[in-house]
Structure 1
Amino acid sequence: MTPTRRTVLLAGAAAALFPSPQATAAPKAAATQPYASYWYPDSLPSGTPGPGITWRGLKSWRADTDPDLAFNAASVPLAARFTPAPANPTARAGQARIQSLVSFGPTASNPSQGSATADYYALTHWAYIDELVFWGGSSGEGLILAPNAPIVDAAHRHGVPVLGNVFLPPVAYGGQLRWTRDLVQKDTAGRHPLAARLVEVAEAYGFDGWFVNAETGGGDAALGADMLSFMRELKSLAAAKGQRVTWYDAMTVNGTVSWQGALNGQNEPFFRTADDMFVDFRWSASSLVSSGRRAEQLGRSRHELWAGVDVEANGWNSSVRWDAIVPKDKAHIASIGLYRPEWTRNHLPADQRGPAAFHAADDRFWTGRSLDPSRPDGTDSWRAPAVSVADRSTVTSVPFASVFNTGHGLRWYEDGAVTSDAPWNHLGLQDRLPSRRWVVRTEGRRPAVGFDFADAWRGGSSVLVDGELDAPTVVEVYETRLPIGGDTVVELTHRTDAGAVRIELAVATGEPGSYTYLPVDSGQAWQTSTVRLTGLTGTVHSLGVRLTATDGPVTWRLGGIAVRDAIRRPVSPTGFRVTAASGGDLRLAWDPAPGEVRHHTLHRVLPDGTRRFLGGTCQRAFFVAGLKPEQGERAARFELRAVGELYTSSAPVSLTHPW
């Protein structure tokens, strides 16, 4: 594989987020920005690293001496998910799956906990993805890249495992065969120490395994045998920890690099040792058929083969032989390996990468030109994932809540008020988002539906419905499996910006579309309406809203939804402290309280008593940069809160830090 390795620039410094208990003296340790970890296997390049790059070897890594572990360790467990009835007749469950290889930033420049820009690949269409690869690695930075915590937390919330990347680059990209030999080295007992180290990293950081891509040429049969032995040990150790291993079709059993574009005798032993294999872009219709047949002869599924689809340069304009992978009129031949779908962000001009423009492009990529997965556009040459693959959902237990936070925004809102006017991104704060966007059922004209960043109830975004609404219109919001108890209620937080509209909660407990409609109060300001599920029993299968215009074109916002039995408030964290300080740069840490905590929020309390949002994180540590004293302020005061699944907050714990 020799596609362009595009540099993704991350604008601005990292977003500030932090907590504290009481006045502390500034620690002597310097506060530095934490980044996602990256390594060479063992030996380092000659010369000196470039600015902002740290060279280090994985062989010497230890969890107990990792200074950034608290910032990089994910906290959200991998959620189980279910497959509802597909949104359209061509989307199939249990056949082709999707692997997504994404570069969120340069290898050495992936902030551990977000950054101060909304210009970010804020992936939201998790419902179609079965495996995310945190793509990266380069000869000048490091070859092994561990995913950062926000991406793992967001993916896990949607039931998607995340793999780190082991990239041994082609010689043309600076690859050196000694790095391959470093990776597969053996100790005196004949074991592969770096296989164990990779599994230790994934366990400590909380992600789900490794994507191994050995593309450095010049090897021989002895090196091929060592790589196969390494992969067998890696797979055995990974499986014992519930981790996954994916092999990339590059190195052959002979130790040479020869991309096969198929499962055959040259790479079958590696496929046998892995959970699945990415089939290089050189595949053909016939090679995929033969590959699928060979996999099944091995007792494996043909859908454990990801047929590579390179969309880095052209996105939905890419020429893809879709019928060779996911034919419409017969069983799927293989699964889909999407290489670099962050094209949906990267192709936009740098000055036009606002969240709204990005999500419009991303929806077009994943849903198709119709922007409604229940009504695919049959004339669209781009066969969007929603056309072929059934969506999945993790919304299966009460309490459940969402404020439709996509993980980035132009400002931060709390209870409808702006508490920070700074742009930001942090995928760990992303909600479990609607899986099929957007299914709209109406006999009239379809309104525009999508995430909007001009206003929100909490976080950075809300759902905006805008149009004539010349007939009653149902907007499907969530596919669920939520049990109904005697005290179960649904809360909607919403606002009518233009026109007048009658609002009803749409609840389906049986067949798709078989809704019961329950009235909801309406008004011109943000309001939270509580709806009792009177007369309903069993399980909620689908939640939506029915809107009926009573005056003119309608602009209506949905800022939040919650399904609950009782209101629960989390317990406050403890031990809020500064662990390192350099002027206005601080590293903060705390001890989470027991019980359900979705994330933590950090505010700065200004001398006049107002609170300014600095950030939020699912971790127990955060870095804040560039703080300055207010006029006459001798110490900065911070407040830290735990936030529960229903977005209820704990009592704050405070900390002051002298300037």
Structure 2
Amino acid sequence: MNPTRRTVLIAGTAAATAALAPSPYASAAPRAAAATPPYASYWYPDTLPAGSPGPGITWRGLKSWRAADDPDLACNAASVPLAPRFTPTPANTTARAGQARVQALVSFGPTSGNPSQGSATADYYALTHWAYLDELVFWGGSAGEGLILAPNAPVVDAAHRHGVPVLGNIFLPPVAYGGQLQWTRDLVQQDADGHYPLAAQLVEVASAHGFDGWFVNAETGGGNTALGTAMLGFMRELKALAAARGQRVTWYDAMTVNGTVSWQGALNSQNQAFFQAADDMFVDFRWSAATLASSGTRAQRLGRSRYQLWAGVDVESNGSGTYADWDAIVPAGKPHIASIGFYRPEWTRNHLPADQRAPEDFHAADDRFWTGRSLDPSRPDAGDPWRAPAVSVADRSTVISVPFASVFNTGHGLRWYEEGTVTSDAPWNHLGLQDRLPSRRWVVRTAGERPVVSFDFADAWRGGSSVLVTGEPDQPAVVDLYATRLPTGADTVVDLTYRSESGEVNVELAVATAEPGKAGAAPPYRYLAVTPGARVKPVDGWRTVTVPLAALSGTVHALGVRLTATGGPVRWRLGGLAVRPGGTPPVPAAPSAARVTAANGGDLRLAWDPAPGTVRHYTLHRLLPDGTRRFLGATGQRAYHLAGLRPEQGETTARFEVRAVGELYNASAPVTVTHPW
């Protein structure tokens, strides 16, 4: 990678690290009794740097890590398994299934001090366009902090919910940026039996944390053929061990078979052995149309797919304004040449001025990046110089079983809502709380004026966001929501929770029980009346209406809403959608054995035993002396850190309640834990 990219990464990491509070750890040894905030894990292979770590940084060697000794593992272990997904009929005639795939190398935060369970700001890279992704790399690492990064649980949970595997990152930096060849030698060290202990250790880390494998990026120069041979042996053993545990390994085009670092920008004789020892390879940005074409041909001669090569596209500096030779990767009208490897697409957040990083600003830029200038994947703009993934790659979905529910929570917000009521006015982010979100944003089908559809953060039914439709539609407008494979029965119903804020709108549920006849065609929707007045909520006009699907039979392939304006400009908000069996949903079982595991003044660590059955997440509330409840947070994990608590007037014991929240957002009875002040 060139100096510009690496300098930006290191400078950003250093700036973020400098802003942190002093390290919560006194040394590399974990302190299980300390009520310190948990952070995503990172390590050196074995040898630590000379000197002392900077503020907020903990130096640890991976070789000595043991899951049983890791006090933060309960907060860092993902809770959502990797979901299966399917490919519906593409939304347009140019998107292909089974050809180019998309990988993203994303830095969600600094290497050190990256919170395990979200933080108190909405300014966060809340990636939502998972439908176009096939692999996410938790990018980061620096010579002064650590080189091996385990993805934090919120990122893994959100990705897994959408069927996207997540890889941890192994970054052996160039010498110019502090890299030491000893760290490479540490990584590939062998034991007396000729095995590679750190290969086994990496697989154990991924298994314990619940992510899907490793991205290996060896860029430290100065090696020789012996080191190249050792690295190749390490990679072969890592892949074998990873495959046995359902994990994967991706190689970065940097080190060659002779142990030197020489970015090839191609699959060739210098790196072919490493590609063969991995599941995929990220082809460095030096590629050309000719080298990608030859690389794809070589991969096929090896019995591999050309789409196991990620052609690097550096979008860190210019995002959707980046020039790339798209016809060299995903030509129109011909089979794709290779897959796409985006380097740092979090540009969609980072390029915004600090005073323009409201969630809606970020999502507008992110939609532009993934969907294209038209902001509607069903009608791509042929004149757009940025070839967004939606133009070339078919979207995928994981909505395949009942019950299914979404409150369109993007994983960050300005407030927290429960049934239309603000229960916390603090900004927040926690990507693990993100729903399965509509993949085609935003497909609107109308013969008239097209309304604007977006995620909105000014109000929500639950979580932090809702879907807002605004405009003056003069013809019925259908908003596609989900491509699905939902089996239905005679008692299956759909709940819609919505609110009309201005204008008069007739609402219908759009349901398709078959696929469109061809790519780019509309689903064969039937429109079911949504009768107003059912279960009208007293909170700001929100209402939940239940629509039976008894008149339909078979599998539901698509869900949407059809809105017909009957008076004035429209401002209509969708807060929730659920597909479920009829009747009253069963209440989830409660968690058990809630306890305080560490305390330091008003800083506490809580833990509990999981509730049996399927749990979407857990919520934590504080029960105040006057009988009211105060929302504290939510997480998919079975542990949580609370900071800065104070006793209420006259309170001698704090009372906390933990509830399990089911797929339909119904909550269990609470389990209570107390803490004396």
Q: Are 1:563 and 2:550 counterparts?
A: no
CA distance in 2, matches of 1:426, 1:64: 26
Provide the rounded CA distance (Å) in 1 between the counterparts of 2:123 and 2:653.
Answer: 33
Looking at structure 2, the residues matched to 39 and 151 of structure 1 have their Cα atoms a distance apart, in angstroms, of 19
Cα separation, 2, equivalents of 1:609 and 1:13? 36
Cα shift readout 1:464-496 (whole Å, capped 9, x = no counterpart): 000101100000000000011011000000000
1:22 is matched with: none
In structure 2, what is the Cα distance between the partners aligned to 1:146 and 1:302?
Answer: 28
> What is the TM-score normalised by the length of structure 2?
0.94
The alpha-carbon deviation at position 28 of structure 1 amounts to 9.6
Alignment equivalent of 1:178, drawn from 156, 177, 182: 182
Distance in 1 between the 2:615 and 2:245 partners? 25
Are the aligned partners of 2:88 and 2:515 in contact in 1 as well (CA < 8 Å)?
no
Task: Give the equivalent residue in structure 2 for 1:494.
Answer: 498
User: Which amino acid is 1:110 matched to?
Assistant: N
Q: Report if the CA contact (8 A) 1:495-1:522 is conserved.
A: no
Deviations along 1:589-621, one digit per CA (max 9) or x if unpaired, are 000121111110001122222211111111110
Q: Give the counterpart of 2:590 among 568, 572, 585.
A: 572
Corresponding residue of 1:404: 408
Q: Secondary structure at the match of 1:264?
A: coil
The answer as to 2:303 corresponding to 1:285 is: no
Among candidates 584, 605, 614, match of residue 596 of structure 1: 614
The answer to whether 1:307 aligns with 2:311 is yes
Displacement of 1:568 in angstroms is 2.4
Q: Please point out which of 71, 83, 100 is paired with 1:67.
A: 71
Match of 1:269, as an amino acid? A
Two-structure CA RMSD over aligned residues (Å):
1.4
Instruction: Give the alignment of 1:442-461 within 5 angstroms.
Output: 442-461=446-465
Letter in 2 for 1:525: G
Q: Distance in 2 between matches of 1:148 and 1:575?
A: 25
Aligned to 2:546: 530
The CA distance in 1 between the partners of 2:650 and 2:618, in whole Å, is 29
Q: Distance in 2 between matches of 1:638 and 1:437?
A: 39
Q: Quick one: distance in 1 between partners of 2:590 and 2:76?
A: 22
Where does residue 46 of structure 1 map in the other structure? Answer: 50
Shift of 1:401: 0.2
Give runs of ≥4 in structure 1 deviating > 6 Å. 10-14
2:109 aligned partner: 105
Contact 1:10/1:119 (8 A) holds in 2: no
Deviation at 1:522, TM superposition (A): 3.7
The residue identity in structure 1 corresponding to 2:140 is G
Shift of 1:394: 0.1
Match among 652, 656, 671 for residue 634 of structure 1: 652
Helix, strand or coil at the partner of 2:461: coil
Q: Deviations over 1:378-405 (max 9, x none)?
A: 1110000000000000000000000000
- Secondary structure, counterpart of 2:183 in structure 1: helix
Deviation track 1:118-168 (CA, whole Å, cap 9, x = no partner) reads 000000000000000000110000000000001000000000000000000
Task: Determine the C-alpha separation between the residues in 2 that align with 1:279 and 1:286.
Answer: 13
1:149 aligned to 2:167? no
Write the mapping of 1:66-215 to structure 2, written as runs, cut at 5 A.
Answer: 66-215=70-219
> Aligned partners of 2:136 and 2:34: how far apart in 1?
34
- 1:540 partner letter: V
Structure-1 residue corresponding to 2:527: 517
* 2:368 pairs with one of 358, 364, 382: 364
- Going from structure 1 to structure 2, the CA distance change for 1:13 and 1:480 (only over 3 Å counts) comes to farther
Structure 2 CA distance, aligned partners of 1:435 and 1:297? 35
- Give the corresponding residue for 2:673: 655
Residue identity opposite 2:530 in structure 1: V
SS in 1 for 2:211: coil
Deviation at 1:110, TM superposition (A): 1.2
Residue 508 of structure 1 deviates from its aligned partner by 0.4
Task: State the Cα distance separating 1:418 from its structure 2 match.
Answer: 0.2
| Residue in structure 1 matched with residue 441 of structure 2 by the alignment | 437
SS in 2 for 1:630: coil
Q: d(CA) in 2 for partners of 1:128 and 1:568?
A: 34
Letter in 2 for 1:241: R
> Can you give the 5+ residue segments of structure 1 that lack an aligned partner in the other structure?
15-26
Shift of 1:331: 0.4
SS of residue in 2 equivalent to 1:94: coil
Cα deviation digits, residues 285-326 of structure 1 (max 9, x gap): 000000000000000000000000000001011111100000
Aligned 8 A contact 2:492 2:550 in 1? no
Residue 7 of structure 1 aligns with an amino acid whose one-letter code is: G
Distance 1:10 1:641 in 2: 34
**Partner residue of 2:602?**
584
Q: Distance in 1 between matches of 2:345 and 2:115?
A: 20
Q: In the alignment, what sits opposite 2:253?
A: 249
SS at match of 1:292: helix
The answer to whether the 8 A contact 1:313-1:343 is kept is yes
Q: Distance in 2 between matches of 1:631 and 1:325?
A: 65
For residues 529 and 19 of structure 2, the distance between their equivalents in structure 1, rounded to whole angstroms, comes to 45
- TM-score (ref. length: structure 1): 0.97
The alpha-carbon deviation at position 13 of structure 1 amounts to 9.4
Cα shift at 1:12: 10
Which residue number corresponds to residue 19 of structure 1? Answer: none
Match of 1:224 in 2: 228
Q: Is the 8 A contact 1:10 1:105 kept in 2?
A: no
Name the SS for the 1:7 alignment partner: helix
Q: How many angstroms apart in 1 are the aligned matches of 2:226 and 2:297?
A: 29
Q: 1:315-326 maps to which residues of 2 (within 5 A)?
A: 315-326=319-330
Structure 1 residue corresponding to 2:642, chosen from 606, 621, 624: 624
How many residues are treated as equivalent by the alignment?
Answer: 647
Could you tell me which residue of structure 2 aligns to residue 17 of structure 1? Answer: none
Output the CA distance in 2 between the equivalents of 1:30 and 1:483: 49
CA–CA separation in structure 2 for the residues paired with 1:451 and 1:313: 26
Deviation of the 1:651 alpha carbon: 0.6
Match of 2:560 in 1: 544
Q: Partners of 2:528 and 2:17 in 1: how far apart? A: 45
Question: 1:537 corresponds to which letter in structure 2?
Answer: S
Residue 176 to residue 13, structure 1, CA distance change in 2 (3 Å)? closer
Is 1:237 the equivalent of 2:241? yes
Q: Mapping of 1:347-362 within 5 angstroms?
A: 347-362=351-366
| Contact residue 11 and residue 119 of structure 1 kept, 8 A | no
Which residue, out of 256, 275, 288, partners 2:279?
A: 275
- Structure 1 residue 615 corresponds to structure 2 residue 636: no
- Among all aligned residue pairs of Structure 1 and Structure 2, give the percentage whose two residues are the same amino acid: 77
Q: What is the CA-CA distance between 1:634 and the residue it aligns to?
A: 1.5
2:524 corresponds to which letter in structure 1? S
For residues 568 and 361 of structure 1, the distance between their equivalents in structure 2, rounded to whole angstroms, comes to 40
Distance verdict in 2 for CA 1:537–1:11, change over 3 Å: farther
